[in-house]
């Protein structure tokens, strides 16, 4: 059972201010929690149904630093950020971003991606395609917001996701930058290199003009129907598949 102070603490972590102050985030649901328990990351709290805890004893014992609290479904619902709480909630320490290795492969750079679902999905896409880094401009959605963590489905474990001022970073990068725009060159007609940076812009405004100037090329996905545009995460997924085909 959670104390009143613990309930207040966990609820406070729904706020960016307190997540940043504490250096932690919330990871909810069986799949995400199970993956975090299999890592060496530091876990402050495991709040879960007793039946869930019983099946994870080995993984939990690997984290002696974690406070483990068994709760009933109704109590879990009082601290969950999900509409339908799912068995377990972890309070996890935010990992330190790794130094980016840009010697090869493909990476995402995200300019002003505001929707947490889009950001989380792009992290998940990067994880699927083995992309080492996702660089987020300071005005992107918060990397560790509950909606981003949920949409990434464990992608934070394997992808280096970090906030980065993009102008200087892209200017100094040795890898070519390919910006996704509505009026770029059809990526299917291009001979793309084996390594580069895919730059995805804001959901409504696209890539900032100053960043467009830093692109080696602008690319687009051919349109065959009447839709005005594609969702940012959908575009990221199609282009990620495109740059990896045959490579």
The domain at 4-93 falls in which architecture?
A: 2-Layer Sandwich (3.30)
In this model, does residue 60 exceed pLDDT 70? yes
pLDDT category, 93, cuts 50, 70, 90?
A: very high
The fraction of the chain above a pLDDT of 70, given in percent, is 98
pLDDT of residue 95: 84
In this model, does residue 104 exceed pLDDT 90? no
Domains 4-93 and 106-244 alike in fold: no
Task: Compute φ and ψ for 222, nearest 5 degrees.
Answer: -60, 140
Domain map of the chain by residue range?
4-93, 106-244
Task: Report pLDDT digits (tens) over 106-129.
Answer: 999 999 999 999 999 999 999 999
- Those residues with Cβ within 8 angstroms of residue 201's Cβ, 6 or more apart along the chain or in another chain: 111, 112, 179, 180, 181, 207, 208, 211, 232
pLDDT category, 246, cuts 50, 70, 90?
A: low
- Those residues with Cβ within 8 angstroms of residue 99's Cβ, 6 or more apart along the chain or in another chain: none
pLDDT of residue 229: 85
CATH of domain 106-244: 3.40.1280.10
């Amino acid at each position: 059972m959670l104390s009143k102070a613990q309930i207040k603490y966990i609820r406070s972590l729904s706020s960016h201010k307190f997540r940043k102050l504490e250096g932690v985030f919330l990871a909810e649901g069986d799949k995400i929690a199970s993956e975090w328990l299999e890592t060496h990351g530091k876990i402050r709290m495991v709040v879960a149904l007793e039946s869930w805890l019983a099946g994870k004893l080995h993984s939990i014992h690997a984290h002696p630093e974690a406070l483990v609290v068994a709760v009933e479904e109704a109590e879990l619902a009082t601290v969950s950020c999900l509409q339908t709480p799912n068995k377990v909630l972890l309070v996890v320490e935010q990992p330190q971003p790794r130094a980016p290795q840009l010697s090869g492969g493909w990476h995402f750079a995200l300019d002003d991606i505001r929707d947490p679902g889009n950001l989380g999905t792009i992290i998940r896409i990067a994880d699927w395609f083995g992309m080492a880094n996702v660089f987020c401009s300071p005005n992107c959605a918060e990397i560790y917001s509950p909606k981003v963590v949920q949409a990434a489905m464990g992608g934070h474990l394997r992808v280096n996701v970090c906030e980065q001022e993009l102008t200087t970073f892209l200017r100094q990068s040795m890898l070519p930058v390919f910006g996704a725009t509505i009026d770029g060159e059809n990526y299917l007609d291009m001979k793309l290199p084996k390594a580069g940076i895919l730059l995805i812009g804001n959901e409504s405004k696209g890539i900032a003009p100053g960043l467009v100037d830093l692109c080696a090329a602008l690319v687009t996905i051919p349109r065959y129907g009447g839709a005005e545009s594609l969702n940012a995460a959908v575009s990221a997924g199609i282009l990620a598949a495109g740059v990896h085909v045959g490579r």
